[in-house]
Amino acid sequence: MDVEQYMQQLGSQARAAARQVAASTTAARNNALLAARDLLDAARPELAAANAEDLQRGAANGLEGPLMDRLELTPARIDTMLEGLTQVASLADPVGAISDMNTMPSGIKVGRMRVPLGVIGIIYESRPNVTVEAASLCLKSGNATILRGGSEALSSNLAIARCLAQGLEQAGLPAAAVQVVDTTDRAAVGRLIAMPEFVDVIVPRGGKGLIERISADAKVPVIKHLDGVCHVYIDEGADLDMAESIAVNAKTQRYGTCNTMETLLVHAAEASAILPRLEQAYGSAGVELRGCERTRAIIAGAVAASEEDWHAEYLAPILAVRVVDDMEQAMAHIDQYSSQHTESIVTADHGRAMRFLREVDSSSVMVNASTRFADGFEYGLGAEIGISTDKLHARGPVGLEGLTSQKYVVMGEGQVRT
C-alpha cells in the first residue's frame, strides 16, 4: 500500500464529506447517530468477532494486562457506546447559532455564527470505544473525522466504522464523514498531521509522549492535553471539615485521572490542625505522603519531597504536601510547578477567593470544590472530547463547542463603505 496516496485519498474524501456535513440539517446528523447506534447493537456478534481477533493478536504479541483490558469490547462497554450515541444525538446542535448580533453605526448588523471546523483528525491509543465517542462528537458538531486508533485495535475499529458509515448513509449523509485509517503503518500518522489542505485540526488522545511527538511534528493546529499536575491550596481560616473533604476527594476519588490533585499546599496557620487529620484520612486510603520540611515536622511518616515531587503527575496513591506562608507563596508555587490544568483554593475569605480565581493561570480555577470536577460532563457540556491545556481556541474541558469556530455574519440592506 502506498500510504501517502492512501492518506491523500482519505483526506480528499473527508474534505468533500465535510462540506456536505456542514450543510446538513440537525435532524440528518441525529438520524445518522441513532441509526449507527441501532446498527452497532445489531452487529454485536461481528463486533465480538473483530474484537476477539484484536485480543488474540494482542496476546500473541505479548500485550500487557492493562492494555489488553483497554482493548476489550465487553457487552457492558458496547452498552455504554450505544448510550453515548443516544446522548450525543439528544444534545443541542451548536452549529448555526448566531450570537452578539448588533447594529453598527453604518447600519449593517454584525454577529457571529457558530460553524464546524471542517475535518478533524483524531489520534488515539488502544480503546476502541473512543472510535464511537470521537466520531459522534465530530459528526454532531458538523465535522468530518479521520480516526487513527491504536494498531492493536484495528479490527474492532474497522467493525465499528462499518456501522458508523452505514448509519451515515441511511441518514443521507456521506459515509466518508467518518473514516478509520485502515493501515497499521506508522507513516499514516505522519501524513495525517501534515495535510493542512485536508485536515483542519488534530485532537490526539493518549499519553504525554504520544501527544508531545504529535505536537512537535504537526503542520496543522493541535488541541492537546499534556499533563495534570493539579493543586489544592488550603487557606488560612478555611473551614477545616470542608478542607479535609475536598483534599481527600481531590486525591482519592480516582488516582489515574488528569484532574486528580497531585500536590497539596497548606497555609502555615492551619498546618498543625489539618495535617494530622489528613494524615489519618490518607493513611486509611493508602496514600503515600511526600512532604516539605514543615510538613514532616507535623507528619513524621511523610517521606521527604524532592524537587521532582513538585513536578510529578503521580496518577497513583502518592501526594506531595507543602506548607506555605500565605496565598502569595501558594500561587508562586502553582505558577512554578503547575501544568495549568486545574487548581482549587479552600477559603472563607472572599477577597482571596476572587484573587485566586483571577490570577491563577490554569484552564480551571476553583473555589471550595474538588479538582475532580474539571470535566466536560460536570461542567454541563454534555460531552467531552478531551481537556485542553492549551490557551488558544479551547481551554479546559472541550465539548461540542470546542469542535466549532465562529465566523462573522453581516446583514445589510445595500450598505457600502464611505
Binding site for a copy of itself (CB under 8 A): 19, 22-23, 96, 102, 104, 106, 108, 110, 113, 115, 117-118, 200-201, 221, 239, 241-242, 245-246, 248-250, 253, 335, 344, 357-359, 361-370, 372-374, 378-380, 390-393, 395-397, 405-418
Tell me the closest approach of the beta carbon of residue 52 to a copy of itself, in angstroms.
Answer: 36
Tell me the closest approach of the beta carbon of residue 255 to a copy of itself, in angstroms.
Answer: 13
* Identity of the amino acid at 190: G
Identity of the residue, 139 or 247, whose beta carbon is nearer to a copy of itself in the bound complex: 247
Give residues with Cβ within 8 angstroms of 123, minimum separation 6: 148, 189, 192, 193, 202, 203, 204, 205, 206, 210, 214
Tell me the closest approach of the beta carbon of residue 104 to a copy of itself, in angstroms.
Answer: 5
Residues facing 398 on adjacent strands? 386
Q: How many CA atoms lie within 13 A of 307 on its CB side?
A: 1
Full DSSP string of 180-214: E-----THHHHHHTT-TTT-SEEEEES-HHHHHHH
Identity of the residue, 50 or 177, whose beta carbon is nearer to a copy of itself in the bound complex: 177
Q: Is the dihedral of CA 313, 314, 315, 317 positive or negative?
A: negative
Tell me the closest approach of the beta carbon of residue 23 to a copy of itself, in angstroms.
Answer: 5
- Are 415 and 107 in contact by the 8 Å Cβ rule? The answer is yes
* Identity of the amino acid at 343: E
Identity of the residue, 107 or 276, whose beta carbon is nearer to a copy of itself in the bound complex: 107
Tell me the closest approach of the beta carbon of residue 394 to a copy of itself, in angstroms.
Answer: 8
Tell me the closest approach of the beta carbon of residue 285 to a copy of itself, in angstroms.
Answer: 14
Identity of the residue, 276 or 412, whose beta carbon is nearer to a copy of itself in the bound complex: 412
- Decide: residue 126, CB within 10 A, 0-12 exposed, 13-18 middle, 19+ buried: buried
For residue 341, report the phi and psi dihedrals to the nearest 5 degrees: -90, -75
Identity of the residue, 154 or 265, whose beta carbon is nearer to a copy of itself in the bound complex: 265
Identity of the residue, 209 or 380, whose beta carbon is nearer to a copy of itself in the bound complex: 380
